[in-house]
Structure 1
């Protein structure tokens, strides 16, 4: 095997392994090196290229060490300043040298100046096209990358994959015939790698140029084709038909659960429950996303689906991303279902990573024998040694936290029967419509769009952390009135240890500031038993204040908690802030969420943080929050682990490319039906192996 150079390794690191990958590696921006501007025609702030002769060059030591070079072009002079430089630079810019220099002109008291401009000897012809500046990494110089892209463009085969009747709504003017004619992919790529200097740079930067539009249309089509293929492949698979098999005259398990519940379902819960039951009765694997705002009652809908499954004589698994959330589900489901299952000689099993060996072995045995009709747990549920007797329904909560590999592992659990389990994914982060049409095109989506009665609206207040003392006074008043309070510590991305020390320091400070109040501490490093004890104390009401890291983000349900304080709220994402806020307002008491923010050394909040906090203060609607979150973060980040970290849309923007997305959605089924080989070629060109991610 030939050793790779650092630059070749860097290409692999960027995923640029096929000629098509390099061809689709498009410039971030462009520099215009096609023209020389006389110095007398330059204005302050202009980015220009000049050709001039060095008339002076010296290293100055005050106020700091710098190389100062003066150049003249016959129409004027300009001073070039470099604060970091090498002897080779001094040699290239020796007095008498003729240079081509590119940089931003600054006017000053002493005349024109450029700071750290690009420079080289004035040799050879000027380029005929704009110079591309590509996204890159260390060890991969622009010049090497440009050569690699040019070589790939010469080698890559780009036969037209779009049939004549399915051209996207993108055109250009063909001067020779005075006609509008569509761009093809090769023309678009050649143009974007080397645009002619007369193009409006703004259309390249905002991706509105027809060449960009063509690429975006092709990319969206590849995504739609891939997802439609996955959906059709899934339709050919077989799943157990889950119809209640109750004894004559006896009510079905889900009916008995409804009768036993201490509350009535909302109309939205009933509607969604019927959609799921209809799917489960079909011999095709369900692939449904159940979305609803925080507190809309998704767990009871999942419990009803589990009842249908267990009543038909099959097993169900419910998997949550954290032990705290899994336990929350487990406690609810035990309360609702255990009395009903006990009559049938069945039970609910509990499976998490940190279990004692003996307890775990007992659980595995019950799961394998089928005595455990419902299994609740964390990632432990999908480990290899967990053998189900007959798993027919898998419910995944907060599904965006689970990677593709984990969802695939769940689907393997029924493989020996030659069947696929039904899959119900739940999310309290509602998916905006454009995202559902694009990234979730292969999913059926059910939405719980109303909250159960009795939920009190949560008032959200933005308070600068300089007023923290007033917040502590408010906490004291709430606790004195018999209420409970959450205090969530900031998320420190760099280090879990810093997260922990911060939470510990806050716990000490609040304990001192609130004498006579029990202040608890909860963080991810605590042993399970300790976490459990802290949560029990808070749930039972013996603990007034709970200081926590974000482990309480989802699922924790304490109706008596009426105040949520989120410290350094500017560090959190929008959906995370909304999830945290959803922990209060679960009882009858008026509830509030205080977003404590810090402006740091600059004295002001960044625009993104300001946008997030403003959205939180203006609305409690999860769907509106999700829409704004998508605007702020873009789809790649919004979806998290769904694509194992791969944002599958590199060029298209769901916020602005709605018309192209509509075209792609209409074109995909036609192309698959009428031109299947072209469709396969198109998917391979754009997605390669990434298309597998969409099938999970």
Structure 2
């Protein structure tokens, strides 16, 4: 185990690499499981092998030459008595050439490729022949350049030997989970050093009882940590904020230019009940793109402000924050004016004078509602009495940022109520695990007047047809988005950049104002472009994904997403939600490129198929979880608390249900075991699960 207290200079490169990988404690090393295994336990004859086998054989080197066609390479021929195999090394050293001199007896391991010219291996591993064969499969671990597998294997086995791996399950609970390997040490020892008789398939698909044991342990640690944080929060206190008859909440309902949907009313009541208690609200408000989350947030803020407290709304981008700000000012400022209250605006790009003025309004309490980006949580921002913190697109924020907003009232011994909003619906299995400590409200209907968006998949080779479709939309007085995934050329990703697309569309659409928007533009330029598009003067907006959330232009009826195969499902769904916001029939064109292979990859095909088949955000989220795993939904929630490394939410639902049931009983009856179990699995990271 690396000594993390030793001076940096005193640590060897492999020790520094262990720390970089997060392998600090003995238990970290023990839980660093192999990516795959190599079978070095037997030597075979070449005549018994088949194309594609990973084989290990012994033989005599009969030729060793450096050739230069088609490129410089070391070509070695080895004869094992039954057949010969040519070994090719494109990167090699003089010492390697020397160790493979003609007449040398070698043991070779690699993937066999066949052909008219006989067997070949490219960059196989070679060592002297003879010597004892291992008795277990050889583990291959995830590592970094300065950490050789041999060093890492030794470190892992050392950590495994030293770690406290006593059983932390309460007595009798494993009976419900047959078949499980008896104890953590037994399971881990097996997975680090499985015998040659173990089918590789059972290790790779993680169905072996040893894997099941670790999955159960991991899910239990996660459930214990979240239940513990929920109970700790129940001890904390927040101001009880009750809606007043005839107050701001009712006044706002009276001046809104539309009727609330039944779903908006329902979630509004759920939030109002939470705010009326002196326990901190910790609620996730989820609703599809355009379902009207902002007005629900405004009504919640009205309750807090009416009770004499401040509200804050934090959004991940300036465009989204400004969108909220405009709506909230329109609804609330006329109601605030008679009371001498203001809506404050805070972003990183503000001029110093304006910023100083806003900070003074917030500190005095005159700013009843503060809207902004990350600037809202900076140390200089002192609230007089923050009662409600609202975080939009919560998965786009880091855990530390969410904790910082909640900590704004620490001095008073109270916590603000916390409302998190997301247009990426959380699948049920994810809600059961990573959001087990949250109450979830769902807006499951769209406001009337939203038109369904037709989604079409079109190959990149038909771009001219798409340009023609744009012309016809513009002729009808409509506006168009064109979204690109990159803003500059990259050798690795041969994508048409946003600038080139902007130039091409400007040339193809003479007389039409075509705008360009990307994340590296100065803020004033972004604002100028957006105001031209929002005002209707600009016909086409070419953009990177900065318009993914928060842009509301009802006149835009066509969305073209270039290289759609490179976007995640949730992101595609968010982008599609930018059109269909008015009365005009709207469409989303997913332009895809098949690249040199001429065909789409399996994952990309599944994503695009899902987009064409459904507009239901929850169905999209379910399929995204299947395709991509949980990272897309959690965003930075996992900073410091890793995503599940071993369990799979899509397939391990029974284990998850078992862990959810066991966690409260274990906390109540076996608190010492519960504490030991979470410390083993999460270390100091459980704090992050509370954000």
Is the TM value for this pair above 0.5? Answer: yes
Residues 541/492 of structure 1: CA separation in 2 closer, same or farther (3 Å cut)? closer
- CA separation in 2, counterparts of 1:55 and 1:647? 51
Asked if residue 579 in structure 1 is aligned to residue 574 in structure 2, the reply is: yes
Superposition map of 1:597-608 within 5 A = 597-608=592-603
Range that drifts further, 470-479 or 512-521: 512-521
* C-alpha contact (below 8 Å) 1:39/1:77 kept by paired residues: yes
Structure 1 position 168, deviation (Å): 6.8
The match for 1:469 is: 464
Q: Secondary structure at the match of 1:270?
A: helix
Asked if residue 342 in structure 1 is aligned to residue 340 in structure 2, the reply is: no
* C-alpha contact (below 8 Å) 1:242/1:309 kept by paired residues: yes
Structure 1 position 406, deviation (Å): 0.8
Scaled by the length of structure 2, what TM-score is found? 0.95
The match for 1:68 is: 75
Asked if residue 81 in structure 1 is aligned to residue 88 in structure 2, the reply is: yes
Describe the superposition over 1:212-243 as per-residue Cα deviations: whole angstroms up to 9, x where unpaired. 11111101111111111111111110000001
* C-alpha contact (below 8 Å) 2:37/2:137 kept by paired residues: yes
Asked if residue 234 in structure 1 is aligned to residue 200 in structure 2, the reply is: no
Range that drifts further, 418-427 or 603-612: 603-612
Superposition map of 1:106-505 within 5 A = 106-167=113-174, 169-172=176-179, 182-244=181-243, 246=244, 251-491=246-486, 502-505=497-500
Structure 1 position 374, deviation (Å): 0.8
The match for 1:42 is: 49
- CA separation in 2, counterparts of 1:567 and 1:645? 34
The match for 2:544 is: 549
Asked if residue 514 in structure 1 is aligned to residue 509 in structure 2, the reply is: yes
Superposition map of 1:643-662 within 5 A = 643-644=638-639, 647-662=642-657
The match for 2:60 is: 53
- CA separation in 2, counterparts of 1:140 and 1:381? 42
From 12, 15, 19, the counterpart of 2:26: 19
- CA separation in 2, counterparts of 1:20 and 1:493? 43
* C-alpha contact (below 8 Å) 1:396/1:426 kept by paired residues: yes
RMSD of aligned alpha carbons? 2.1
From 605, 618, 622, the counterpart of 1:610: 605
* C-alpha contact (below 8 Å) 1:29/1:205 kept by paired residues: yes
- CA separation in 2, counterparts of 1:567 and 1:583? 15
* C-alpha contact (below 8 Å) 1:338/1:347 kept by paired residues: yes
* C-alpha contact (below 8 Å) 1:491/1:499 kept by paired residues: no
- CA separation in 2, counterparts of 1:153 and 1:581? 50
The match for 1:178 is: none
Q: Secondary structure at the match of 2:668?
A: helix
Describe the superposition over 1:234-279 as per-residue Cα deviations: whole angstroms up to 9, x where unpaired. 11100000013x4xxx612111111111111111111101110111
Q: Secondary structure at the match of 1:164?
A: coil
Residues 470/238 of structure 1: CA separation in 2 closer, same or farther (3 Å cut)? same
Structure 1 position 637, deviation (Å): 4.0
* C-alpha contact (below 8 Å) 1:318/1:396 kept by paired residues: yes
Q: Secondary structure at the match of 1:562?
A: strand
Residues 481/19 of structure 1: CA separation in 2 closer, same or farther (3 Å cut)? same
* C-alpha contact (below 8 Å) 2:487/2:518 kept by paired residues: no
The match for 2:4 is: none
Q: Secondary structure at the match of 2:289?
A: coil
Structure 1 position 193, deviation (Å): 0.5
Residues 42/536 of structure 1: CA separation in 2 closer, same or farther (3 Å cut)? closer
* C-alpha contact (below 8 Å) 2:489/2:497 kept by paired residues: no
Scaled by the length of structure 1, what TM-score is found? 0.94
- CA separation in 2, counterparts of 1:321 and 1:276? 22
- CA separation in 2, counterparts of 1:360 and 1:82? 62
The match for 2:628 is: 633
Task: Structure 1: state its 5+ residue gaps.
Answer: 173-180
The match for 2:688 is: 693
Residues 170/194 of structure 1: CA separation in 2 closer, same or farther (3 Å cut)? farther
- CA separation in 2, counterparts of 1:346 and 1:534? 31
- CA separation in 1, counterparts of 2:261 and 2:194? 58
Asked if residue 590 in structure 1 is aligned to residue 597 in structure 2, the reply is: no
The match for 2:3 is: none
